[in-house]
Amino acid sequence: MKKSLTIIIICWCFSIFAQTDKTSENKQAADNSGLDVAAAMKFLETKEQAFEKLANINPKKGTPKYAAKDKEIKEIVEEIIDYRFIAEYVIGKKWSETPESKKEELFNKIKELFSDVYLDKLFYNKSYEKKYLEKGTEKKYLKGVPESIFITSEIQGIFKGKTVGYELVYHIRKVDGKYKVFDVELDTVSLARNYREQFEKSLKEKSVDELIANIDKKIKSSKSEKQEKKETKPAAK
């Protein structure tokens, strides 16, 4: 009798665990099934149209209008980019080991670096034409993202007076019911993966403070290069 009762209890426990696992799987499947490629595409196009409107406004630097434009651009970027995922992904295992006092500083530097490259490549160069080529869903594109959406586009831009073309792929996931870009590929080079490789190598050899200083240096160098290009650009006749 005791043996039979033990077997019944064990079977009951396995049944509960199986149901729990199934519920968890069903919840994840439900979250993933909520991905809508057409809705993600509309989200992206709407944000790009907002950027294009702002790009046509050229207030003088230092004026209230310039500050208002800058603020609006940053707000749109916040709606587009999944910075929290990017920061945690590129730092990897070291993120959990980073002191809380340094996490926010590190997060803000990664955010500034990613947005600087993202905006410079995609929106500040107005001499381009973009067309969408392909879109769909993908499985496990990056660790921590079971299913996501990709949108591939081709950009024709002007570089040193010549027309150049490159492929751009947005990788989008759903966060709290909203679509967010968690990686961008430029000619097959993933920004998130590229930064992860750089930062993991740096963190093996350097401290978090040194990494923050290096990222800051990279941001300043990028801004300096852009300023030099503006100053050397011939004036329109």
Per residue in 63-78, pLDDT tens? Answer: 999 889 888 888 888 8
Could you tell me how far CA 70 lies from the centroid of its own chain?
Answer: 20
Cα separation, 112 vs 227, whole angstroms: 17
Out of 18-22, 90-94, 222-226, 228-232, least confident range:
18-22
Higher pLDDT, 159 or 106: 106
- pLDDT category at 102 given cuts 50, 70, 90 is confident
Question: Which percentage of the chain shows pLDDT scores above 70?
Answer: 72
Q: Note whether 90 and 117 are within 8 A (CB).
A: no
Could you tell me how far CA 88 lies from the centroid of its own chain?
Answer: 11
What integer pLDDT is reported at residue 7 of this predicted model? 41
What integer pLDDT is reported at residue 139 of this predicted model? 94
- Overall size of the chain counted in residues: 237
Using DSSP, how many helices (H) and how many strands (E) does the chain show? Answer: 8, 5
How do strand 162-175 and strand 147-159 relate by DSSP bridges? antiparallel
All structural domains of the chain, each given as residue ranges with its CATH number in brackets, are: 33-229 (3.10.450.710)
Average pLDDT, the chain: 76
Find the helix or strand (DSSP H, E) in which 135 lies.
strand 129-139
Higher pLDDT, 130 or 10: 130
* pTM beyond cutoff 0.75: no
Cα separation, 175 vs 181, whole angstroms: 10
Cα separation, 95 vs 106, whole angstroms: 10
Cα separation, 96 vs 89, whole angstroms: 11
Q: How far apart are the first and last CA of the chain?
A: 99
